[in-house]
Structure 1
Amino acid sequence: MTPTRLRKREIVGYGLGDMGFNFYWTNISTFLLIFYTDVFGITAAAAATMLFVVKIFNAFTDPLIGAFADRTQTRWGKFRPYLLFVPLPLAVIATLAYSTPDLGPTGKLAWAYATYLLLMTVYTSMNLPYSALSGVLTGDARERNAVNASRFVCGFLGGMVVTAATPRLVQGLGGGDAALGWALTMAFWGTAAAVIFAITFASTRERVQPARAAPSSVRQDLADLRSNKPWILLFLLALIIMVSITLRMTSAAYYFKYVVNRPELLATFVPAYLLAAAAGTALTPFLARVIDKRRLMISLMLASTVLSAAFLFVDASQIWLMYALQIALGLVLGPKSPLNFSMLADAADFNEWRNGRRATAMTFAASSFAQKLGTAVAVGVIGTLFTTLGYVPNAAQSAESQAGIVWLMSVIPAAFTGLAAVLMMFYTLDNPTMARIQRDLAARQPSP
């Protein structure tokens, strides 16, 4: 399907793009809720409800964004132009989302709704085409594994840098004024991300094209996905994994502030996970060569379930054990993202093989849709639990509230990854099946 092999420069250049996206995503998933509750002054219940509502609304716009990207035609390709024209508006909107105008309780909540909805919509309008780009850089399964491994190594490294640097940037740029510090910090990350996206745009090329140009409607694309069982399973997989990860990532700030009473440890705890995840991601091409992707994903989810559940038994004084489990979780969960995205590219190939139609961005909308829906579910769980157990910002927590935070770091995310392992037992696009599909698609390509 692909006439030329990918260059290392292109693999690395594509991967760098996810570092830029994590300058936003890690800040949102790790710090946004605590920014709303402890800096902007929105109640936990109101903030959680807002995040849930916006995520649900925005999740349903993802298929429309995917359909629009699939129908984009420019001299730069379908998906690369978004990396050129969207970064600047995204940086401005992110800065506004982390600003704290004095509008009163109702006005603050309205501001949060408006800026967060806009932030996530614009973010997706670039992230979804970027994800789809990995499906058209190459049709070779091993190269896809390498491309997506590069992406998530860079993404985890970006997340590690953000988690370690953001608290320091807020303090340094704000001079002790947290509100000012957050706005300036997001302006900094937005500028840095724009530079990285320009590099990704310049270093990549779209190669894979449908065997024949078969125009289809958005309704037809959606119908194809609804009948695509591997895509449905991958959507559910991404959703469940995102719930589990968001529960732990978002709860970590509360865990170290109110349970361990060492909030400064967050600056190394999350990066420890991300560095380990980057190492696990780097191993993905090797692991995928020796273990079928389906069996590998099941094994990873089962191991994650055990490690997350073990966190329930860690005492607040056992810092070393917290870090050991966190690092082990990073190594285990690192390969799941490149595997999932490689499988989504396989699902796009399966759709073209079966129907003669290729809707790459629409297929990859599964991941974006699942990320947002999964994050919404996780934040909803956190907000509901906090409200029920009597969470009070910037105050000593009750025993019930502390116990709830510990469960959010352990048993609850473990239950979700256990469910993910069960789902993957029904996935059918194993390595022999994909080899046959790739041969058939290659045979359909017109002669040069």
Structure 2
Amino acid sequence: MTSAIASHAIQDGSTMISAHGDDLRPWEKISYGLGDFACGLSWNAVGAFLLYFYTNVALLPAAAVGTLFLLSRLFDAGIDLGVGLLVDRTRTRWGRTRPYFLFTAIPFSILLVLTFTTIDASAGAKLAYAYITFSLLGILYSFLAVPFSALMPMMTTHHGNRMQLGSARAIGTSISVILATAATMPLVGLLGGGSERLGFALVAIIFAGLTLAALLNLFFSCKERHHDESPRGGAIWPQVRAMLRNRAWLVTFLFCTLNFLRFGCVISVTAFFAIEVMRAPWMIGILLPAVSGTLLLSAFIAPLLFKRTGIRKGCMAALALAIVLHLVLPWIEAQHMLFLTAFLIAAILVSLTMTAIFTMAADAVDYHEWIFGTRNEGLLSSGISLSTKIGMAVGTAIIAYVLAIAGYEPKAVTEGARAAIRWAYYGWPIAIMIVQIVIIAFWPMDGLHDRIRRDIANRTT
């Protein structure tokens, strides 16, 4: 059923063109979407529940956990750029990106389980264990996320096909969010038999198995068609400097960073908001999946919308409407069904902009080749991967520090702590979306795709 839905969604909105040599098979597009499912399942579980796991299960101080998230992800900055440069220099019989899926799948799956496992030791030892496992998981994630983002522009150069792959990726992300956020806590309770410590470990094992299967399928099913096979070397700084002068990439990087900053704030505070502010723990299973689970619906809408409006105008309109709905939410908090309806509509609008990011990242590669004559898929994709990590890290750290400053204690929550949670849930997303509107106004690619393809083709003839 999922395959049928995905195949329909990713073919809607544009037609296939064999003349470009980009005749993507339905299963290939679905497999690309499942690749994002593999990356997203683990990362969404980490984003949604690792703060809760560290503070309520491992019993680590909230402030220490906030610093852990921040330092570990900032360390990843160099890792992501290094992986991007490595991808640009990789030449194997499997291609340039696919070997990373093959050789990273097993260790990444093992680290996911270890991250959601706590040890019987002192607080200092448990914190050190958390630093080691979480940091290693982030490093291995870089070796998956950067090649995965670099794969799309290698699979097809056609904008319509990229929108289809972006929709496939949105579906994969959506399914991963729904599973990670809606199923985690029920499974923890079911499998743990009253022990959240055991429950989280067993759920991590299940998620690790699904991640492993999807990554191996990505390796075997997706094909690289367009990339420069010539050896890539030269000084690193000129390549980085060119990347920073690429307006399409810079807009994508900033827009994506802000998106995941908002995402990190919302997804990490939602469990606390539902339990302590709404006094309705059952809402966790609705609010968390809705944060990005609505990508499943937006994957059907986005290709049609952005074909008519372009990415710039479409994203600005979607974010403006989402801001209006978020301003209404505090006033209808006591009316749960009305609150959920408004929240779901806002989530769909924001998800449209998330779908756009996938296409923007691939288009930035073409823009780079148009301006500078080189594609540098790995380096450009590493920057986008870095933006997701920075955004998630800062967003999660913000919530951890808010909890610490408000004096949050799991067994004795004060009204001051509840007020801080409520402010964090509403205030940060609105402020971030306002800045996103300003950033996306500078997107340069709308209406340029045909010209860019012609100019690049003329250089090679």
Q: Same fold (TM over 0.5)?
A: yes
Please give the alpha-carbon distance, in whole angstroms, between the structure 1 residues aligned to 2:63 and 2:395. Answer: 13
The Cα of 1:389 is off from its aligned counterpart by 1.7
| Deviating more after overlay: 2-11 vs 139-148 | 2-11
In 2, distance between residues paired with 1:215 and 1:388? Answer: 48
Q: Whole-Å Cα distance in 2 between the matches of residues 121 and 310 of structure 1?
A: 40
- C-alpha contact 1:211 1:444 (8 A) present in aligned 2: no
Q: In the aligned structure 1, how far is the partner of 2:291 from the partner of 2:361?
A: 25
Quick one: distance in 1 between partners of 2:88 and 2:338? 47
1: CA distance, partners of 2:436 / 2:292: 21
Q: Which of 404, 411, 414 is matched with 2:420 structurally?
A: 404
The percentage of counterpart residues that share the same residue type is 28
Is 1:382 matched with 2:422?
A: no
TM-score (norm 1): 0.94
For residue 419 of structure 1, report the CA deviation from its aligned partner. Answer: 0.5
Q: Report the counterpart of residue 361 of structure 1 in structure 2.
A: 378
**Matching of residue 255 in structure 1 with residue 273 in structure 2:** yes
> Does residue 268 of structure 1 match 2:283?
no
Deviations 1:338-396 (A, max 9, x none): 3112112111111112222111121112221111111122122212222222211233x
CA distance in 2, matches of 1:143, 1:9: 14
Structure 2: any 5+ residue segments left out of the alignment? 1-18
Which consecutive residues of structure 1, in runs of 5 or more, have no partner in the other structure?
none
Correspondence list, 1:38-437, <5 A: 38-210=56-228, 215-315=233-333, 317-395=334-412, 397-431=413-447, 433-437=448-452
- Are the structure 2 counterparts of residues 412 and 106 from structure 1 closer, same or farther at C-alpha, using a change threshold of 3 Å? same
Q: Residue type of the partner of 2:425?
A: M
SS of equivalent residue, structure 2 residue 186: helix
How far 1:282 sits from its partner (Å)? 2.1
Q: Deviations 1:278-305 (Å, cap 9, x if unpaired)?
A: 1012211111211111111212222222
Provide the rounded CA distance (Å) in 1 between the counterparts of 2:382 and 2:221. 23
CA gap of 1:152–1:329, structure 2 versus 1, over 3 A, is same
Q: Contact between 1:98 and 1:186, CA under 8 Å: does it hold in 2?
A: yes
**Cα distance change on mapping 1:425 and 1:26 into 2, 3 Å:** same
Residue 229 of structure 1, CA deviation = 2.0
Q: Distance in 1 between matches of 2:65 and 2:232?
A: 45
The 8 Å contact of residues 294 and 427 in structure 1, kept in 2 or not, is answered as: yes
CA distance in 1 between counterparts of 2:91 and 2:60 reads 43
Name the count of aligned residue pairs. Answer: 443
Q: Which amino acid aligns with 1:444?
A: R
After superposition, what is the alpha-carbon deviation per residue over 1:46-73, rounded to whole angstroms, capped at 9, x for unaligned? 1111111111111332111111112111
Deviation at 1:322, TM superposition (A): 2.7
Question: Is the Cα–Cα contact under 8 Å of residues 262 and 429 in structure 2 kept in the other structure?
Answer: yes
AA matched with 1:402: R
Residue 438 (structure 1) aligns with: 453
Pair 338,216 (structure 1): closer, same or farther in 2 beyond 3 Å: farther
The alignment status of 1:21 with 2:21, answered yes or no, reads no
Please state how far the C-alpha of 1:124 moved relative to its aligned partner.
1.5
Distance 1:2 1:211, change over 3 A: farther
Name the CA distance, whole Å, in 2 between partners of 1:418 and 1:259. Answer: 25
Mean Cα deviation higher: 56-65 or 267-276: 267-276
Separation in structure 2 between the aligned mates of residue 106 and residue 86 of structure 1, nearest angstrom: 30
CA contact (8 A) 1:312 1:407 kept: no
Note if contact 2:187-2:199 (Cα within 8 Å) is conserved in structure 1: yes
Change (3 A) 1:379 1:425: same
Structure 1, residues 50-105: CA drift from partner, whole Å, max 9, x if none?
Answer: 11111111133211111111211111111112222211101111111111101211
Q: Displacement, 1:213? A: 6.3
- Of 205-214 and 345-354, the range deviating more from structure 2: 205-214
Which string of whole-angstrom CA distances, capped at 9 and with x for unpartnered residues, describes residues 147-172 of structure 1? 01111112111210221211122122
